[in-house]
């Protein structure tokens, strides 16, 4: 049985796939299996996967009909035999030494979950940013771990989680991952990581956060920078939240529900902001009001908004006003405050990079 199983879900990444797989194979740690899950990719990825499997006996390939990221991750996890399981997105890459370092930490700490940071590589302009864990480095067990859970979705800053939900910068003890990954609704296509990581954190007996070095490179591709229809995004978030409400029931987990309240408020603000920014591109004030009124009629947004306990939240002014305007169906106010919210986010982004 290998110590580590590395799962790589693959779909339409032919220009990036070899860089990804080569970075895994170049690790100075050999006790692993690499599971390449071809999720019905219509390009040259299936052949690339098979070619790698012929060259290296540690590589296993799954070919399946396209079913989305959740199904691809599940397919890989079902055949994984490692003590720990990790993921690499097929358009990302990792630096040599990552798995050796985490292996040594896993052996030393015996943590159920290990967490690292990441570099965010913005393909459109070559910018590199660092994704650091808001929670302090170290081993979390007992009461210390419980306090971490109380801030895992909301650290006290709107919006910044205590632990980022991404699965690709984490090692999961196999049984904990399978318990929480396999039941996930296959229809979830926004927030897939959130549906997996936070339940795993609730089941973990120990978590180790490592911040001395960063190895993972998360690529934001040019072709990924497209905005989708707001109604569609809201519907997808609705599927996510219906699932989260089942595994984190308010009556049994009030502290988690409070964190989800903040997260939901953030998502609705973002959904409305994305929709009403179309007004800037259209250039018509009247059209902006029409877009705002259309938001009031979208059932998916109504569902997300219905779960927000606004009176319980300490929110930035612009976010509170956006949500209040939506709740009271005030189109002009909604349009105005989304523009203010966008400007404030842009200024904050500029100040953080000075």
Cα 36 from Cα 10, distance rounded (Å): 7
Full set of structural domains in the chain with CATH: 4-224 (3.90.550.10), 230-352 (no CATH)
Hey, what are 89's tokens?
A: 């997105």
Does the structure show a pLDDT above 60 at 354?
A: no
Over residues 107-131, mean pLDDT: 92
What pTM was computed for the model? 0.92
Confidence of residue 144 (pLDDT cuts 50, 70, 90): very high
Give per-residue pLDDT as tens, 158-207: 778 999 999 999 999 999 999 999 999 999 999 999 999 999 999 999 99
Quote the mean pLDDT of the chain: 91
Give the helix/strand (H/E) hosting 217: strand 216-220
Over residues 104-129, mean pLDDT: 93
Q: Are 347 and 354 in contact (CB under 8 A)?
A: no
Cα 170 from Cα 165, distance rounded (Å): 9
First to last CA, the chain: 49
Confidence of residue 125 (pLDDT cuts 50, 70, 90): confident
Over residues 259-283, mean pLDDT: 79
Give the helix/strand (H/E) hosting 175: helix 174-181
User: What pLDDT score does 227 carry?
Assistant: 43
User: What pLDDT score does 277 carry?
Assistant: 72
Cα 337 from Cα 269, distance rounded (Å): 10
Higher pLDDT among residues 164 and 349, named by residue: 164
User: What pLDDT score does 350 carry?
Assistant: 59
Strands (E), the chain: 4-10, 32-39, 59-64, 84-87, 93-94, 113-115, 118-122, 127-131, 138-141, 170-173, 206-209, 216-220
Higher pLDDT among residues 307 and 75, named by residue: 75
Confidence of residue 228 (pLDDT cuts 50, 70, 90): very low
Cα 275 from Cα 227, distance rounded (Å): 9
Over residues 49-57, mean pLDDT: 98
Buried b (16+ CB within 10 A) or exposed e, 301-312: beebbebbeeee
């Amino acid at each position: 049985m290998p110590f580590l199983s590395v799962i790589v879900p693959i779909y339409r990444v032919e220009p990036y796939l070899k860089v990804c797989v080569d970075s895994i194979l170049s690790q100075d740690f050999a006790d692993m299996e690499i599971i390449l899950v071809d999720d019905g990719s219509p390009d040259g990825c299936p052949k690339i996967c098979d070619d790698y499997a012929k060259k290296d006996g540690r590589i296993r390939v799954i070919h399946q009909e396209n079913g989305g990221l959740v199904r691809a991750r599940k397919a890989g996890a079902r055949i994984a035999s490692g003590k720990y399981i990790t993921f690499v997105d097929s358009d990302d890459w990792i630096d040599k030494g990552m798995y050796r370092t985490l292996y040594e930490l896993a052996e030393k700490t015996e943590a159920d979950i290990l967490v690292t940071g990441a570099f965010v590589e913005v393909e459109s302009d070559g910018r590199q940013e660092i994704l650091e864990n808001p929670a302090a480095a170290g081993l979390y067990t007992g009461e210390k771990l419980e306090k971490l859970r109380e801030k895992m979705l909301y650290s006290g800053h709107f919006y910044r989680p205590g632990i980022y939900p991404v699965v690709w910068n984490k090692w999961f003890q196999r049984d904990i991952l399978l318990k929480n990954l396999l039941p996930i609704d296959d229809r979830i296509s926004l927030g897939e990581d959130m549906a997996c990581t936070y339940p795993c954190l609730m089941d973990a007996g120990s978590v180790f956060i490592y911040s001395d070095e960063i190895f993972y490179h998360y690529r934001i591709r040019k072709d990924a920078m497209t905005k989708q229809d707001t109604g569609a995004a809201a519907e997808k978030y609705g599927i996510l939240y219906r699932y989260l409400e089942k595994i984190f029931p308010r009556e049994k987990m009030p502290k988690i529900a409070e964190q989800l309240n903040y997260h939901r408020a953030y998502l609705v603000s973002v959904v409305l902001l994305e929709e009403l920014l179309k007004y800037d591109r259209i250039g018509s004030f009247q059209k902006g009001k029409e877009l705002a009124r259309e938001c009031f009629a979208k059932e998916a947004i109504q569902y997300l908004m219905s779960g927000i306990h606004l009176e319980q939240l300490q929110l930035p002014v612009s976010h509170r006003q956006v949500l209040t305007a939506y709740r009271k169906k005030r189109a002009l106010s909604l349009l105005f405050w989304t523009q203010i919210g966008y400007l404030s986010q842009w200024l904050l982004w500029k100040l953080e990079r000075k």
